Structure 1
Amino acid sequence: MLRRADGGSERLERALDGGPIPHDAETRRLLAAAGALAPGFTRDPARVQATEDAMMLAFERAMNPLTKRENAGTDDGLEETELHREEVALPGGGRMVVSDLEHITPDRLDEATQMYADILARKSKDRQS
């Protein structure tokens, strides 16, 4: 009752090539083992190339750092930035401070005050229930 090894390997090769799958248990076990050995995913060549490019760019930056300017930080406009600040009394008590890089208009201040008052009103309703 011994099977020839050549017959089993031929059936397995036919099944792996996309031919009809035999119904015997031995070939099914061999197919499962071959499937376990096959990689579950393939690497995208574009992603591999993008990763290599990013690594080489980081390497180049590390090997050739940018030169530091003598006048770095001067006349770049950052020290001239003005911070606008307004303080407003909220209805029902409390104070709100609004800060912005842009000029705070009365309309924007009223809108922010109303939004904050609505939030406080909703939270106070939650505490009473």
Structure 2
Amino acid sequence: MSRRAEQSERLERALDGGPTPHDEETREMLAAAGALRPGYQRSPSRVRDAKEAMLREFARVQNPQEAREDAGSGDGLDEPEIHREEIELPDGVQLVLTDIEDITPERAEKTAARIARILNTRERDRQS
């Protein structure tokens, strides 16, 4: 038997789960064959689920829903009411509060005090 045939036979036995050969050439071929083997297995259920999802999406794109004549009415997405409150701050500064929620007098006073405190802090910073 030739050297190549022996080597081929040892490689086949090793690939079939037999003993690992000791010679360097056959171990290198075994490593190369192992590198060619895919590192993962595709799950048949995932392949099926992906195919079904693609077909559903294709059908949805091919058959779009018809636009409703009453679309946009009564769906709760109407323009919200904007509440506005103007407040005079010390030193003649005009503060305008706007919100989609009601602006209560307590909330307006609290916000005005906070803004006035920020403005006073900035004035002191510029003077130093």
CA distance in 2 between partners of 1:39 and 1:84 (Å): 64
Higher deviation after alignment, 77-86 or 45-54 = 77-86
| CA 24–63 in structure 1, closer or farther in 2 if over 3 Å, else same | same
Map of 2:66 onto structure 1 = 67
Q: Give the TM-score of the pair, scaled to structure 1.
A: 0.60
Gap runs ≥5 in structure 2: 88-94, 118-128
Change (3 A) 1:23 1:82: same
Unaligned 5+ residue runs, structure 1? 89-95, 118-129
Cα distance in 2 for partners of 1:38, 1:100 equals: 63
What do residues 1-55 of structure 1 show as CA deviations (whole Å, max 9, x unaligned)? x5151x2222112211222101011211210221122112222222222221221
Per the alignment, residue 56 of structure 2 pairs with: 57
Equivalent AA in structure 1 for residue 13 of structure 2? R
Q: Deviations over 1:64-112 (max 9, x none)?
A: 1001111111122221634567789xxxxxxx988765667768x97xx
**Matched ranges for 1:49-128 at <5 A:** 49-79=48-78, 81-83=80-82
Give the fraction of aligned pairs with identical amino acids, expressed as a percent. 56
Aligned-partner Cα distance in 1 for 2:4–2:66: 74
Aligned residues: 112
**Superposed CA RMSD:** 3.7
Offset from partner CA, 1:105-124 (integer Å, 9 cap, x none): 768x97xx99xx9xxxxxxx
Matched with 1:46 is 45
Distance in 2 (alpha carbons) for counterparts of 1:43 and 1:59: 23
- 1:36 maps onto 2:35 in alignment: yes
**Closer/same/farther in 2, CA of residues 20 and 71 from structure 1, 3 Å limit:** same
**1:61–1:4 CA distance, 2 compared to 1 (3 A):** closer
In the alignment, what sits opposite 1:3? 3
Alpha-carbon distance in 2 for matches of 1:43, 1:85: 60
Residue identity opposite 2:75 in structure 1: D
